[in-house]
Amino acid sequence: MNYCAYRERSENEILKKLYEWGIKEKKIQYEYLKTLKENGLVSDSKYIEAFVRGKIRINKWGPQKIVFELSKKGFKNQEIEKKIKLFESEIHENCLKILQSDRFKKQLYHETNEIKIKRYLYAKGYPPEMITKCLEEIKQKHEN
């Protein structure tokens, strides 16, 4: 219970940890898991939401990178997409904030630097359409 109280955990994490602790019998592992679920300490849905929230707010990741990382952990894309939609406006704001940061402010109006900026944002997981839209918004603000 202490392991689960520290932060949100996925069901797979719990099963792996139980195995590490020497509980190798599947039936016993699933009994522990069932008890933790009944007490509200383990939920894949809560885990996905906490992961998405943290990666958006702290790491400033885009949706593509989040989907990739969570699908590596065995979650279905449909579940992930539902949680990402809750934070769509925040993702867009992050994209704009990154472009308006001191790091990129001066580089936005040079074509070669714009390619580097797009590549950086794409590596952070932002889709190309969103990157282009954010760049256009910032250029329009600057012109006005």
Which residue ranges in the chain fall short of pLDDT 70?
Answer: 106-111, 144
pLDDT of the residue at 40: 87
**Other beta carbons within 10 Å of 13:** 17
pLDDT at 54: 95
The pLDDT value recorded for residue 50 is: 95
CB-based contact 36:46 (threshold 8 Å) = no
Q: Is residue 36 part of a domain?
A: yes
pLDDT of 109 reads 65
Q: What is the pTM of this model?
A: 0.85
Find the helix packing angle between 111-123 and 88-100, rounded to 10°.
140
Question: Does residue 110 lie in a domain region?
Answer: yes
- The residue range of the domain holding 16 is 8-42
**Of 10, 112, 137, 129, which is closest to residue 63 (Cα–Cα)?**
129
Structural domain includes residue 72: no
Q: How many domains does the chain have?
A: 2
What is the pLDDT at residue 142?
74
* pLDDT tens track for 124-138: 999 999 999 998 998
Helix (H, G, I), strand (E, B) or coil at 86: coil
